[in-house]
Amino acid sequence: DVQMTQSPYNLAASPGESVSINCKASKSISKYLAWYQQKPGKANKLLIYDGSTLQSGIPSRFSGSGSGTDFTLTIRSLEPEDFGLYYCQQHNEYPFTFGSGTKLEIK
């Protein structure tokens, strides 16, 4: 199985700042990486897929980059609603596997 290593585990930032979350695959997954947001009481939300394609309805302050084994989710000009848990997931091969998550907290 492809192991996904996500960093950092925790991240604290203030509204208006920019942050980056990293995800590293144990082998090449080409461009096939997705990012999700998880918040209590809300359905998980797809943000980015195919490494850098913004899901419909997601604000342009979210962006994804990378290919092969190294990927990054960047959130520019943080809004209060952006705080929560973020997961990466490879969708290149079965079984699909997720990173361990990054908790983005308000500083």
Contact positions vs other proteins (CB under 8 A): 32, 34, 36, 42-46, 49-50, 55, 87, 89, 91-92, 94-101
- For 1, 43, 60, 97, the CA distances from 79, given in Å and listed in that order, are 35, 19, 12, 28
Shortest spacing between CB 25 and other proteins, in angstroms: 14
Shortest spacing between CB 14 and other proteins, in angstroms: 26
Nearer of residues 69 and 97 to other proteins, judged by Cβ: 97
The strand pairing partners of 19, in sequence order, are: 75
DSSP strand pairing (19-25 vs 70-75): antiparallel
